[in-house]
Amino acid sequence: MLSVLIWLPIIGAAIISILPDTIIPKNRVRLVSLTVAFLVLLWNVFILLKFDITNPGMQFSEYLPWNETLGLAYQLGVDGLSILMLILNSLLTWIAIYSSSENTERPKLFYSLILLVSGGVGGAFLAQNLLLFFLFYELELIPFYLLISIWGGNKRAYAGMKFLIYTAVSGALILATFLGIVWLSGSHSFALDAVNTQNLSTTMQVVLLAGIILGFGIKIPLIPFHTWLPDAYVEASAPIAILLGGILAKLGTYGLLRFGFGLFPQAWNVVAPTLAIWGAISAIYGAVVAISQKDIKRMVAYSSIGHMGYILLAAASGTKLALVGAVAQMFSHGLILAILFHLVGIIETKVGTRELDKLNGLMSPIRGLPIVSALLVLGGMASAGIPGLTGFIAEFIVFQGSFSSFPIPTLLCVASSGLTAVYFVILLNRTCFGKLNNDLAYYPKVVWAEKIPALVLAGLIIFLGVQPTWLVRWNETTTSAMVGAIPTAGKIIISQVETNQHQQ
Amino acid sequence: MSERSPEAIWLMVLPMMVLFGLVLHLPLILQSLSLLPSWTALQKDVALLLIWSSIFGVSISAVIYLGNIPKPIALPWKGLQNLLAYDFYTPKLYKVTIIFGVAQLSKLADIVDRFVVDGIVNFVGLFSLLGGESLKYGNSGQTQFYAFTVLVGVAVLGAWATWPFWSVQFINLVF
Amino acid sequence: MVQTVPKPTSKLPPSTHEFADIIHRLEAGGSMLPDTPENLMQIIGIYKAYAVPMDFYWRDLLYIGERVFLNPLPAFKYFLPQEYLDLHNHYAGDDADLRIWRGEATAHPELLAFMEKGEIGKIPKLFHHLLHDRINMEFAEACMQAMLWHRKMYAPVNQFDAYLDSEEYKANADQAIKAYFRKNPPMLALYKLFPDMFLEQCRMMSYYANLGLFWEVMAPVFFEMSDIYDEGGFSGVPDAMNFLINGIFAVAGRPIYHHVYVDGKCYEVIPKSKGFTWLYEAALPYVEAVFYRTAPFRGTKSYNAQAGQVPNDQKDFHYGILYADVFPVGTAGIPPTLLMQDMLHFLPPYLVDYYKQHCRGEDDMLIQLGITFQRSMYNVTSAVIQALRTALLYPLDDTNPRHLQANRDFFESQLNRFTRVDYGMRDAAKLRSIQSPNYR
């Protein structure tokens, strides 16, 4: 069942790259990859519908022994934490392929790399074996490096190389930590459910947890390991930026929750205050730096850094509600980032520039880009946390869940949410409103095929904002079980605001 | 200045006239709906104050608009006139205080991000590259040099590996 | 395509004005609009598209000025009766005073077809009106209000404005008003209370008649220009401009009057014997008020009058079509967009094909034709400038350099209206933009 999610995209990638031009002509490659991605999405929705939300454990498990001596086994499973991430992965792959231009150069390589990445990320979300996870985690490295370096902007070589080095270091740290965990705790396999860190000393646990945090922290990214992100997101083309921000960053937070929170329940309490403050600093930093950006894509990139800070805060808090909020924020941020990058990509293609000083008046009905601007307003509102859209739901749950454990960082994050509104209003005010420049405003028309991904995402954002049950019901049982494993002795609780999860 | 006032469009005038009529008839409407309190509840002082303030307002406007003060009205102090004309300089005030503050903070953060944080990373990368470049000039190309390096390396490695066996005598020898 | 800048043909040294090449072109008998076949095609096409609604405008303006007169609730003033649709244009048809257009004197067939069907189809006339699927008469009324509001235009020569304040006019108007409200005692009582209000309304009606009579001439002129172009009779933009100049001089003496018809009797509020002429009392004020001045349009931009963002003097107003920004909001109902919507219905096929090949094709035809309209109005303004020069100054081929210098000074003073720095006029004026064919 679950293997389909990994192997169908990879087989699709193989088909696209290997079959000769006579069978798949160059102008049909996009269509073929779109079909493959759509099939994967349908299968994923099917799995979602068959998912049992009352079961906190792993579902649809698959097990194949691979290499016993290494301890590597092909073990897959999905639970509340990962099911939404899988949907996000398939959805954003489909959106990214749809968002890509029809005349991309070297289409076969491009689309096969995207599908490869999609399969790899799916595998990482599904893996129940530490080494298998690491395998899939490293699988993205080279495809993404190629995707950024070949189809990117002006500084793509620099951005790609920076991304590669950072992510490779992250992978090395994670591998070292995994090996350390298994070796030191005396487990005989790398399987996730077999690893038990309870018998390690607290210091050792904290050291290993620090390794996990640093490794995944580069991926999320956390300040000060974030510098690869602005360059990578800005230089990548729109579909790649969607994948980078929507899926790859989520790999970092997923890893933090699964392997940090899940494997080190005792040590988590020790590092939680640091993590909470770190998350708040990250959120404020991302928002403040975004205000002064003059390139709209860079602004959205820094906004991404800010929003990931909320996830860290929620993970640090460790309450049931906060963890539900963390997963909700992961999904919602993926959607919002996807729509923002897609629209910014359209603006860049049509207008020819990304600079805030040169863009103006795009909401003009006949000569401008009215629908794109309207959806950009929607995306900006969603990112800033306006009620009625999914961003508000996720942020609200995060704040409410974390306030009882860490009030000051939560307040800082709320302030950062306000600052998000500042730079989005700057963005919308300069690009959408105002007067079109008569001498330059001869932009080509926006066709329906370019609007559809944005409309699909906007529909989802509004729907989840109005019916948040559909966002949170999947992960409640799993996250409650995860929180339940934490010993409550070391937690500072001011007043536990009991969950609203049953009050939708 | 114009001698004819421009006519407002009917979309503005019609609702205004309707509401004008409604407001003027409001006491009668309230009376017919029995919503007015009884006359005994009237507070003479407040009523007098209200009437007096209305008369005061009407007379001031009459003096200004029906009298022969030249229009547009020019206040005696240009500064005061400018203050009112430019909305108490509120947008400028905001621009200079809050917006300036946030923008400067943001620019500072951006500079720190670009040059300090990114700078460290780029410096490390530059340093590695330069180190590699300068290391390559250390090669002499002579085989005996490499053989000597190998010998020294093996010797050091062997000494370190067998340290527990000859450490005691070595220290006794030296000290 | 490359245009050679016309060399100064006169004996004068080259002009040092900012728009020197345009000055030289004007001195050579040309227009402010460059002389290219593309420009010619555009302006003739848009003249034809402008003339069809203009046919409706002048008839309805006369209907309102003469029949509807002081009706306090004129809900049906845009429902033109058959009598006015059949009213013979004095400059077309067989019984014309001066036959400018070879076609018929009654309403143009395309206009009648549009009034029948509109955009939606054949539905009762009331629904066409309520759904706004009609000719936008509000544009004509806005032009009239501009002329009414801007006073003392061309003051000593234009006596129409001054006459409206005179005792004679008041007496005439008084007669007409009393006759109109003969069977209406409340209104007569109101008239006794507020005579000035009714007088002002009557003045507005006089301007309705003024504008209607003005456009009665312009419509056949534009129709004829379109017909001549279809036959290939124009060799360039200066040719078209010269046709306009000849038309202006031919009709210059046409009397401007205001006759009110109450119960079949005609009350001459402004009799023909006053001798108001078409050129001085209608055409020049119209060009001044509608092309140059008008007024800022409500709802598109907010101005701080206290801070001097709106000119204090009416003559500094710069919101006319020559200064207009034609990338409009589109649905705000501002007058130029109303006219553009009207013209969209009557574009000749060659112009529709032309627009389909540029910019966004059919999607932004409104803006494309708006810019074409702006070019054509610059051409009309050039015709007026050349006509004024012919009337007041010296011929272009005069040999006396002092005369030529006087001509040049006149042209420069006219172009200086587009180069003034205050209120951002020089940025708003589109004279520079229309020189390039890429401004669409």
Q: Are residues B106 and B62 in the same domain?
A: no
Mean pLDDT for A324-330 is: 95
Residue C9 falls within a domain, yes or no?
Answer: no
Q: Which residues in chain B have Cβ-Cβ distances shorter than 8 Å to A430?
A: none
Q: Are residues B100 and B61 in the same domain?
A: no
Q: Point out which residues pair with C101 in neighbouring strands.
A: C92
Taking the Cβ of residue B121 and every Cβ of chain C, the question of whether any pair is shorter than 8 Å is answered with no
Q: Which residues in chain C have Cβ-Cβ distances shorter than 8 Å to A436?
A: 327
Q: Which residues in chain C have Cβ-Cβ distances shorter than 8 Å to B2?
A: 149, 151, 314
Res. C298: pLDDT tops 80: no
Res. C10: pLDDT tops 70: no
Condensed to tens digits (0 to 9), the pLDDT of residues A352-368 reads: 999 999 998 898 888 88
Q: Point out which residues pair with A64 in neighbouring strands.
A: A74
Residue C439 falls within a domain, yes or no?
Answer: no
Condensed to tens digits (0 to 9), the pLDDT of residues C357-393 reads: 998 888 889 899 999 999 999 999 999 999 999 999 9
Q: How high is the mean pLDDT of chain B?
A: 89
Residue B171 falls within a domain, yes or no?
Answer: no
Residue B113 falls within a domain, yes or no?
Answer: yes
Mean pLDDT for C91-117 is: 91
The whole-angstrom distance between A356's CA and the closest CA on chain C is 21
pLDDT band at C329 (very low <50, low <70, confident <90, very high): low
Mean pLDDT for A115-128 is: 95
Cα–Cα distance between A94 and A86 in angstroms, integer? Answer: 12
pLDDT at A498: 42
pLDDT at C203: 94
Residue B164 falls within a domain, yes or no?
Answer: no
Quick check: helix, strand or coil at residue C73?
coil
Neighbour-count burial of A411, counting CB atoms closer than 10 A to its CB (0-12 exposed, 13-18 middle, 19+ buried):
middle
Q: Are residues B48 and B95 in the same domain?
A: no
> In which domain, by residue range, is C336 found?
20-434
pLDDT at B1: 56
Condensed to tens digits (0 to 9), the pLDDT of residues A386-417 reads: 999 999 999 999 999 999 999 999 999 999 99
Res. C237: pLDDT tops 60: yes
* Selection from A247, A322, A284 nearest residue A483 by Cα: A322
pLDDT band at A93 (very low <50, low <70, confident <90, very high): very high
Name residue C217's amino acid. V
Neighbour-count burial of C219, counting CB atoms closer than 10 A to its CB (0-12 exposed, 13-18 middle, 19+ buried):
buried
* Selection from A303, A298, A308, A301 nearest residue A287 by Cα: A303
Which residues have a Cβ under 8 Å from the Cβ of A337 and sit 6 or more positions away?
Answer: A242, A245, A246, A300, A304, A307
Q: Are B113 and A162 within 8 A, CB to CB?
A: no
Q: Point out which residues pair with C255 in neighbouring strands.
A: C277
pLDDT band at C6 (very low <50, low <70, confident <90, very high): low
Mean pLDDT for A269-289 is: 94
Q: How high is the mean pLDDT of chain C?
A: 90
Size of interface B-C (CB pairs under 8 A): 24
Residue B4 falls within a domain, yes or no?
Answer: no
Quick check: helix, strand or coil at residue A104?
coil
Cα–Cα distance between C281 and C278 in angstroms, integer? Answer: 6
Q: Are C327 and A441 in contact (CB under 8 A)?
A: yes
Give C222's Cβ-side CA count (13 Å radius): 25
* Selection from A13, A18, A4 nearest residue A97 by Cα: A13
**Number of structural domains found in chain B:** 2
Mean pLDDT for B113-120 is: 88
Residue B36 falls within a domain, yes or no?
Answer: yes
Q: Which residues in chain C have Cβ-Cβ distances shorter than 8 Å to A435?
A: 325, 327
Provide the CA A381 distance to its chain's centre, in angstroms: 19
Residue C12 falls within a domain, yes or no?
Answer: no
Taking the Cβ of residue B138 and every Cβ of chain C, the question of whether any pair is shorter than 8 Å is answered with no
**Number of structural domains found in chain C:** 1
Which residues have a Cβ under 8 Å from the Cβ of C250 and sit 6 or more positions away?
Answer: C98, C100
Taking the Cβ of residue A170 and every Cβ of chain B, the question of whether any pair is shorter than 8 Å is answered with no
Minimum Cα–Cα distance from C75: chain B residue: B10
A32-41, A69-78, A431-440 — which one is most confidently predicted on average?
A: A32-41
Name residue C344's amino acid. L
pLDDT at C328: 63
DSSP3 helix / strand / coil % (chain A, rounded to 5) = 70, 5, 25
Q: Point out which residues pair with A67 in neighbouring strands.
A: A72
Condensed to tens digits (0 to 9), the pLDDT of residues C239-273 reads: 999 999 999 999 998 999 999 999 889 999 999 99
Mean pLDDT for C208-220 is: 95
Percent of chain C beyond pLDDT 90? 68
Taking the Cβ of residue B75 and every Cβ of chain C, the question of whether any pair is shorter than 8 Å is answered with no
Res. A499: pLDDT tops 50: no
pLDDT at C51: 96
Q: Which residues in chain B have Cβ-Cβ distances shorter than 8 Å to A285?
A: 109, 113
pLDDT at C364: 86
Minimum Cα–Cα distance from C325: chain A residue: A438
Radius of gyration, CA atoms only, chain C: 22
pLDDT at B11: 81
pLDDT at A497: 40
Q: How high is the mean pLDDT of chain A?
A: 90
Residue C315 falls within a domain, yes or no?
Answer: yes
Omega before A9 cis (within 30°)? no
Name residue A306's amino acid. G
Mean pLDDT for C140-164 is: 90
pLDDT band at C331 (very low <50, low <70, confident <90, very high): low
Percent of chain B beyond pLDDT 70? 99
DSSP per-residue letters across C31-57? -SS---HHHHHHHHHHHHHHHHHHHHH
Name residue C101's amino acid. W
Q: Which residues in chain B have Cβ-Cβ distances shorter than 8 Å to C307?
A: 85-86
Residue B158 falls within a domain, yes or no?
Answer: no
Taking the Cβ of residue C145 and every Cβ of chain B, the question of whether any pair is shorter than 8 Å is answered with yes
Residue C104 falls within a domain, yes or no?
Answer: yes
Mean pLDDT for A122-144 is: 93
Res. C193: pLDDT tops 80: yes
Asked if ipTM goes beyond 0.90, one says no
* Selection from C430, C427, C429, C419 nearest residue C20 by Cα: C419
Task: Say which DSSP state B2 is in.
Answer: -
Q: Are residues B131 and B105 in the same domain?
A: yes
Minimum Cα–Cα distance from B117: chain A residue: A224
Q: Where are the alpha helices (DSSP H) in chain B?
A: 10-32, 44-61, 78-85, 90-94, 100-111, 118-136, 143-161, 163-174
Q: Are A195 and A263 in contact (CB under 8 A)?
A: yes
- Selecting from C325, C328, C359 the residue whose C-beta is nearest the C-beta of A442 gives C359
Condensed to tens digits (0 to 9), the pLDDT of residues B32-51 reads: 998 888 888 889 999 999 99
Cα–Cα distance between C239 and C243 in angstroms, integer? Answer: 6
* Selection from A458, A385, A374, A465 nearest residue A421 by Cα: A385
Mean pLDDT for C211-230 is: 95
Q: Are B140 and A325 in contact (CB under 8 A)?
A: no
Neighbour-count burial of A175, counting CB atoms closer than 10 A to its CB (0-12 exposed, 13-18 middle, 19+ buried):
middle
> In which domain, by residue range, is B26 found?
10-73
Taking the Cβ of residue B87 and every Cβ of chain A, the question of whether any pair is shorter than 8 Å is answered with no
Mean pLDDT for A424-430 is: 93
pLDDT band at C422 (very low <50, low <70, confident <90, very high): confident
- Selecting from C325, C367, C433 the residue whose C-beta is nearest the C-beta of A366 gives C367
Res. C191: pLDDT tops 70: yes
Taking the Cβ of residue A292 and every Cβ of chain B, the question of whether any pair is shorter than 8 Å is answered with yes
pLDDT at A494: 37
Residue B168 falls within a domain, yes or no?
Answer: no
Long-range contacts of residues A428-432, Cβ cutoff 8 Å, at least 24 apart: A428/A373, A428/A376, A428/A377, A428/A380, A430/A356, A430/A357, A430/A359, A430/A360, A431/A296, A431/A347, A431/A356, A431/A359, A431/A360, A431/A362, A431/A373, A431/A376, A432/A361, A432/A362, A432/A363, A432/A373, A432/A376, A432/A377
pLDDT band at A491 (very low <50, low <70, confident <90, very high): very low
> Which residue reads 């574009």 in tokens?
C347
Packed helices C401-416 and C20-27: angle between N→C axes, nearest 10 degrees: 130
Neighbouring chains of A at 3+ CB pairs within 8 Å? B, C
Any idea which of A10-24, A271-285, A297-311 has the lowest mean pLDDT? Answer: A10-24
Q: For chain C, give me the number of helices (H) and strands (E)? A: 19, 2
Q: Are residues B30 and B56 in the same domain?
A: yes
* Selection from A391, A396, A466, A481 nearest residue A53 by Cα: A481
Answer whether 0.95 is exceeded by the pTM.
Answer: no
Q: How many C-beta atoms surround the C-beta of residue C311 within 10 A?
A: 18
Q: How many C-beta atoms surround the C-beta of residue A295 within 10 A?
A: 17
Beta strands in C301-440 (DSSP E): none
> Which residue reads 């404005």 in tokens?
C161
* Selection from C428, C382, C379, C347 nearest residue C53 by Cα: C347
pLDDT at A496: 39
Task: For residue C284, give Cα distances in angstroms to A345, C44, C290.
Answer: 52, 22, 10
B110, B115, B122, B128: best to mutate for the A interface, most A CBs within 10 A = B110
The whole-angstrom distance between B1's CA and the closest CA on chain C is 5
Residue B111 falls within a domain, yes or no?
Answer: yes
